[in-house]
């Protein structure tokens, strides 16, 4: 048998120890904020029944679901006529009962329905797990990637929306980001805009076009709207709304005037005002000044899905798409027969946040991989002397290791360099006699003689 060259499945990645420490730093920072706001972690299986996922993401989404072949002789039960037709799509229900999850939202809806007698409403959960999509891999798009979601179901209070704004503000600030905008809109405002121009049935076409404003400009939006059945008169009404400027209060006042004839539109404006008022009450003056919360009428993400407020977060420090988003949905669990359960949720784009922190050099020194101290090993006597020191470091919660066998200094130093270990303790006969160990700072090259207790105090002071 010939040796097969190892390779990764297309659209997947390995994460090195260095990357994992940085990724966990992001997740741990975000999770800490979720917990602070009363959200509890759940996990759902990597695979779901195919019937759970099918029909929840539209025809295009269904094509991207990774199906899992039934175990054993999966063709044995297939109708011979189907088999001879070689139509794999028609055979799916016979050969595949399970699939890898496509997102965290549908499994969450299934979880809520199945556990409805155990959970307390409103139910606040967060989830950080991988999802899989049979997409065409390209730069920044993978077939396996992680989602980082928080949702609350069973509450229609707009306090939840306001708290998600504060969660974004706190988590991203804790990660070191300083200049980012939290954009907010409301599906009902978009419905109202479509109503006042008498084209409620064209709301999807209208919002898809408006959503492209920053990419194709007003001229491009106009051209697209005209091609979809809108008139010049419609565009005259839309123009001041699409190009809305000023403070949030000024935008709200302009929208109230334009949407005075739309009940849905005015309800959407009232919801936005309520969220702003909650944020103002919760945040206090100092934090209020920091939050860049912006009413953006062109924001139209997930329109088929969201029914109320819509969020999107963008960093202004790096050229990057959105690093977070979400919104209010009125019937998440309806797909599984539990009607009328409203919810609101947000997601953090952890992979994009990783790229932003990397580009801005915002990962702290503590988010470097693994071992903080290496103890040298020159001979059996030094090894025996080092073992209790190694234990003392670990008992002080300092990540430490002893070079596993006696070796020349150069080899041990290369090992420390390759692993980015910041400190090395050198133990020779002199150190064993005096009890003062030689601590070498690998970055500066500076060496000093210290007792083990002093070394532990110094490393703890540095947060290592």
- Please tell me the distance from the alpha carbon of residue 438 to that of residue 417, in angstroms, as a whole number: 17
Torsion of CA 97, 101, 105, 108, to 10 degrees: 60
- Please tell me the distance from the alpha carbon of residue 416 to that of residue 111, in angstroms, as a whole number: 47
Please write the tens of the pLDDT for every residue from 312-347. 999 999 988 889 999 999 888 888 889 989 999 999
Please write the tens of the pLDDT for every residue from 105-146. 999 999 999 999 999 999 999 999 999 999 888 877 889 999
Span 360-369, mean pLDDT? Answer: 83
pTM here is 0.88
Q: Residue 380 in contact with residue 404, Cβ under 8 Å?
A: no
Tell me 154's DSSP state: S
Supply the DSSP string of 292-328, one letter for each residue.
Answer: -EEE-TT--TTTTT--SEEEEEEESSSS-S-SEEEEE
Beta pairing partners, 131 = 145
Provide the pLDDT for residue 305: 75
Contacts of 393-399 with C-beta under 8 Å, sequence gap 24+, read 393/452, 393/455, 393/456, 393/459, 396/456, 396/459, 396/460, 398/372, 398/373, 398/456, 398/459, 398/460, 398/464, 399/370, 399/371, 399/372, 399/373, 399/464
Please write the tens of the pLDDT for every residue from 253-285. 999 999 999 999 999 999 999 999 999 999 876
């Amino acid at each position: 048998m010939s040796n097969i060259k190892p390779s990764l499945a297309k659209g997947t990645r390995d994460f090195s120890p260095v990357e994992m420490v940085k990724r966990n730093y992001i997740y741990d920072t975000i999770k800490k904020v979720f917990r602070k706001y009363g959200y509890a972690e759940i996990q759902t299986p990597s695979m779901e029944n195919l019937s759970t996922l099918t029909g929840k993401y539209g025809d295009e989404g269904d094509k991207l679901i990774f199906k899992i072949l039934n175990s054993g002789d999966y063709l044995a039960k297939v109708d011979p006529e189907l088999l001879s037709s070689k139509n794999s799509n028609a055979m799916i229900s016979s050969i595949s009962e399970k699939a890898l999850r496509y997102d965290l939202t549908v499994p969450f809806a299934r979880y809520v329905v199945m556990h409805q007698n155990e959970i307390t409403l409103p139910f606040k959960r967060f989830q950080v797990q991988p999802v899989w999509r049979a997409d065409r891999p390209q730069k920044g798009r993978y077939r396996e990637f992680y989602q980082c979601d928080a949702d609350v179901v069973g509450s229609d209070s707009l306090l939840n929306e306001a708290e998600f704004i504060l969660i974004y503000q706190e988590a991203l600030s804790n990660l070191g980001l300083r200049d980012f905008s939290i954009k907010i809109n409301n599906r009902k405002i978009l419905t109202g805009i479509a109503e006042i121009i008498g084209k409620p049935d064209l709301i999807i076409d209208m919002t898809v076009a408006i959503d492209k404003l920053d990419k194709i400009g007003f001229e491009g939006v106009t051209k697209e709207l005209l091609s979809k059945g809108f008139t010049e008169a419609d565009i005259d009404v839309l123009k001041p709304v699409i190009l809305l400027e000023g403070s949030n209060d000024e935008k709200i006042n302009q929208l109230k005037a334009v949407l005075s004839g739309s009940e849905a539109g005015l309800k959407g404006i009232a919801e936005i005002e309520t969220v702003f008022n909650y944020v103002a009450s919760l945040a206090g003056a100092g934090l209020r000044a920091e939050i860049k919360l912006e009413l953006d009428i062109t924001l139209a993400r997930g329109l088929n899905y969201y029914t109320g407020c819509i969020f999107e977060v963008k960093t202004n420090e790096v050229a990057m798409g959105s690093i977070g988003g979400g919104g209010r949905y009125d019937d998440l669990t309806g797909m599984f027969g539990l009607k009328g359960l409203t919810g609101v949720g947000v997601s953090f784009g952890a992979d994009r946040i990783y790229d932003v922190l990397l580009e801005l050099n915002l990962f702290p020194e503590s988010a470097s991989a693994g071992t903080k101290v290496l103890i040298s090993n020159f001979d059996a006597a030094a090894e025996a002397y080092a073992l209790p020191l190694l234990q003392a470091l670990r008992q002080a919660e300092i990540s430490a290791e002893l070079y596993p066998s006696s070796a020349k200094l150069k080899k041990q130093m290369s090992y420390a360099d390759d692993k980015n270990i910041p400190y090395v303790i050198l133990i020779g006969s002199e150190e064993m006699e005096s009890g003062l160990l030689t601590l070498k700072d690998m970055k500066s090259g500076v060496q000093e003689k210290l007792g083990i207790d002093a070394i532990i105090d110094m490393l703890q002071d540095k947060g290592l």
